[in-house]
């Protein structure tokens, strides 16, 4: 019997959630994603020492530009060993500023294009705040495809799809973490709130013919992955990818298009903000995620400053 990883690849596009080239080369995902936390880890890998050292050159002290250059350099290396796309994230500290997000996204695209990487191989990652979703709508109209991240609420998913986002990344594991702590119990399989969230989004998108790709992210265990088999894409850490590769038990498809779904929703800005406000988990995890990415961005900036 083939491995669970190979079975999963039959009906779900597998994406590596890492900047570790060795792991990507070994596990052969189609796409890869990075974020400030993963880039910070990559900065300490010997493989990227030269890229880190050269990122500040010619930046005239602009450490933000140096961070973008390092992110793009890491992305370039990853693109050499995957057939698909790399997701590169806009500075999380811009999550509530549409215009600044647009400028940073455009700079990332320009840096990739100067390096010979076309827009067809890049997704710009943006936090799924109201302001981030507005920026994504304008980028999509300009031919730059986006990956809306830090997504915890159904309202975020619907707003992203209505804005024409290419892809969303609902965070399964972080939803699970919140409910496990809040309710003081573990969740397994289909009872996992993170699994339920992605399942709802997937079925809603398919029922209403949205083209936005659903990519489950942030997994804590194999059960979460297995119960989302059939989702458009799943972005998985190297450790869990390796475990899937090592196991050869049957892995059936769980999610399929078709069937009944809830009526279509629409969220204007007040509705969106109210829905998010009413979802304590999503409110807390979105704010926490932005803060965590911002702190890691600051640590990466400090590291690059020391390289001058």
Core vs surface per residue 53-86: b (16+ CB within 10 A) or e: eebbeebeeebbbbbbbbbbbbbbbbbeebeebb
- Is the C-alpha dihedral spanning 20, 21, 25, 26 positive or negative? negative
- Which two structure tokens, joined as six digits, stand for 194? 């993170």
| Annotated catalytic residue, options 9, 28, 125, 185 | 125
How many CA atoms lie less than 13 Å away from 48 in the CB half-sphere?
Answer: 25
Q: Could you give the residue ranges of the DSSP H alpha helices within 9-97?
A: 21-27, 36-43, 49-54, 63-79
- Residue 137 falls in the annotated catalytic set: no
Best CA proximity match to 40, nearest among 288, 242, 294: 294
Contact 228, 199 (CB under 8 A): yes
3-state SS class at 109: helix
Which residues, 6+ apart, have CB-to-CB distance to 37 below 8 Å? 292, 293, 296
- Is the C-alpha dihedral spanning 99, 100, 102, 106 positive or negative? positive
Backbone φ and ψ of 257, nearest 5°: -70, 155
Helices first, then strands: H and E counts in the chain? 14, 8
Active site residues: 125
């Amino acid at each position: 019997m083939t491995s669970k990883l190979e079975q999963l690849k039959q009906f779900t596009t597998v994406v590596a959630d890492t900047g570790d080239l060795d792991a990507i080369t070994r596990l052969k995902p189609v796409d890869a994603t990075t974020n400030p936390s993963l880039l910070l880890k990559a900065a300490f890998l010997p493989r990227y020492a030269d890229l880190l050292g050269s990122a500040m050159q010619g930046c005239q002290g602009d450490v933000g530009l140096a961070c973008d250059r390092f992110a793009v350099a890491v992305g370039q290396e990853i693109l050499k060993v995957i057939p698909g796309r790399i997701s590169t994230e806009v500075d999380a500290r811009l999550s509530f500023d549409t215009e600044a997000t647009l400028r940073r996204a455009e700079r990332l695209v320009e840096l990739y294009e100067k390096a010979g990487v076309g827009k067809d191989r890049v997704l710009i990652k943006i936090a799924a705040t109201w302001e981030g979703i507005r920026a994504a709508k304008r980028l999509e109209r300009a031919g730059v495809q986006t990956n809306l991240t830090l997504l915890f609420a159904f309202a975020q998913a619907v707003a992203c799809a209505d804005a024409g986002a290419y892809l969303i990344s609902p965070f399964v594991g972080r939803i699970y973490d919140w409910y496990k702590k809040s309710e003081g119990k573990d969740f397994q399989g289909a009872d996992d709130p993170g699994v339920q969230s992605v399942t709802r989004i997937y079925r809603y998108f398919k029922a209403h013919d949205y083209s936005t790709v659903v990519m489950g992210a942030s997994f804590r265990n194999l059960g979460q992955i297995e119960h989302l088999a059939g989702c458009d894409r799943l972005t998985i850490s190297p450790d869990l990818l390796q475990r899937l590769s090592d196991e050869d038990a049957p892995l059936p498809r769980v999610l399929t298009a078709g069937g009944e779904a809830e009526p279509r929703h629409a969220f204007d800005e007040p509705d969106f903000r109210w829905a998010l406000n009413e979802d304590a988990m999503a409110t807390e995890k979105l704010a926490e995620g932005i803060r965590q990415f911002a702190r890691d961005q600051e640590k990466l900036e400090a590291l690059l400053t020391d390289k001058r």
